[in-house]
Amino acid sequence: MNRLYFAILIIIIFAVCIAQPVLAQEESIQVFIDSLPISFDVPPVNQNGRILVPFRSIAEALNVEVNWNSDTQTINAAAGKTQIELQIGRKTAYHNQTPLTLDVGPQIIGGRTLIPLRFFSAACSCTVQWIESSREVQIASPPKKMAVIGFYALGDSRTSSWTNLFALPYPEASKGNTDVVGTLSLGWYSLDRDGSLLTKSRTGWQRPDGWENVLKTAGKYALETDMVIHVTDEDGTISSLLANKEAMNKASGEIIKEVAKYEGVNLNFEGLGLSQKEEELTTVQEEFTAFATLLSRQLRKLNKDLTLTIHPPNSAYQGYDYGALAEAADRIIMMAYDYGPKPEPISLVLQAVEMATRNVPLEKLVLGISVPYETPQSIVAKIGLAKRYNLDGIALWRLGVISGETWEVLRDMTRKN
């Protein structure tokens, strides 16, 4: 009989040991803002059906300024015109000086201040969803003012940039999606190795018939326009151009003559630094920086901006000195795509953002998103990264392939004014 009891006891202990990790996993709570996870050094807790989260972590992810008064144990937070005040242990909170009663008051747990998530999110104009099955909190931050740049390129009747933007077949136009996009980057130009500005290129970029009507209609709907100069280095065109001082001067001069029609220039030199190493790579970087600097100086005399659209720092193309280019350019669009898997892995996009922000001021950096590689769901996290890191905005490659559902995501997450 003793042997039977002993065997039963062993089975019970074994079962408990197996069950404990599963139970711990089930009890954990994950918090996401704009589909991006939030890391906490003290885990969120559920008290009386209310989720409490570490205050500073959630605030910083929403770019909310936080102040802690240890004498009064009072928390103050500011986000735009929103002011929040809470006190440890008290169920009365203040939203813009208006008192509100909380079901659960703020608490100090594990040396960290935890506050009711739903109150804080609502006070900051977020929407909050609790998913019981996965024990997740999904937070959608409010629309944020940022630059939204749309690349305008030739398509066909099915992928027309005009129709996608203005919502009617060319040449008819309406407001369409112009409430989302602020700048059109017009893919109409290229360069040859001698520095001649081309309106038709070997890569298919060309200025369409009726281009004047695009500029006129853009002005009607208060859209800024940039002339995109797209060149690839597959056949050495860029390398030859940058190695020739006369060619660079010619290219700069022809661009300056053409830019009067636009607010600025978007220089899209792709493919630099793929095979070069060490000294050769440094030379490529310096030559491109020299051309960008030359062009920038001339553009600034005309009060025109220079945008650079370049590969991300964690790509195979290392011909771009982000720090030096940031000094020359008014804006850098980082093409954080073409990594391989689709949609683009958020871990690699995040890595690119963190690398770029070490050398580029946040107000100059734009996150490039390749729309064909994303879904309306996956693009949320990319826009969320731009919001969380306070980047200047996002750039969409390209108009003509943006679905109605994706337009709505953009409308929910960004604003022009």
2 in a structural domain: no
22 in a structural domain: no
Residue 277 and residue 165 in one domain: yes
Residue 80 and residue 163 in one domain: no
Average pLDDT (137-142) is 94
Q: What is the CATH number of the domain that holds 206?
A: 3.20.20.80
Structural domains counted in the chain: 2
Last residue of a domain, one of 116, 140, 164: 140
Residue 281 and residue 218 in one domain: yes
17 in a structural domain: no
Residue 261 and residue 114 in one domain: no
249 in a structural domain: yes
13 in a structural domain: no
Residue 21 has pLDDT above 50, yes or no: no
Residue 67 and residue 186 in one domain: no
Residue 176 and residue 314 in one domain: yes
Burial of 76 (0-12, 13-18, 19+ CB in 10 A): middle
Q: Which secondary-structure segment (H or E) carries 25?
A: helix 2-27
Last residue of a domain, one of 115, 140, 165: 140
Pairwise CA distance, residues 351 & 198, whole Å: 35
Q: What is the pTM of this model?
A: 0.91
Per-residue buried b or exposed e for 321-340, using 16+ beta carbons within 10 Å of the residue's own CB: bbebbbebbbbbbbbbbebe
Report how far apart, in Å, the C-alpha atoms of 57 and of each of 12, 13, 47, 113 are: 40, 38, 19, 10
**Residue 47 — pLDDT band, cuts 50, 70, 90?**
confident
Last residue of a domain, one of 121, 140, 159: 140
310 in a structural domain: yes
Q: Which secondary-structure segment (H or E) carries 165?
A: helix 161-166
The pLDDT tens digits for 163-202 are 999 999 999 999 999 999 999 999 999 999 999 999 998 8
Per-residue H/E/C for 365-397 = EEEEEEHHHCCCCHHHHHHHHHHHCCCCEEEEE
Residue 136 and residue 149 in one domain: no
Residue 387 and residue 406 in one domain: yes
pLDDT at 19: 39
Q: Select from 259, 376, 345 the least CA-distant residue to 307.
A: 259
pLDDT at 119: 85
The whole domain housing 51 covers 30-140
Residue 184 and residue 98 in one domain: no
Residue 86 and residue 185 in one domain: no
pLDDT at 24: 35
pLDDT at 405: 98
Task: DSSP for 27-47, please give it.
Answer: H--EEEETTEE---SS--EEE
Look up residue 95 and give its two tokens.
Answer: 């939203």
357 in a structural domain: yes
Residue 278 and residue 295 in one domain: yes
Q: Which secondary-structure segment (H or E) carries 150?
A: strand 147-152
Look up residue 192 and give its two tokens.
Answer: 């040859």
Length of the chain: 417
329 in a structural domain: yes
* Amino acid making up residue 6: F
The pLDDT tens digits for 219-273 are 999 999 999 999 999 999 999 999 999 999 999 999 999 999 999 999 999 999 9
Residue 265 and residue 161 in one domain: yes
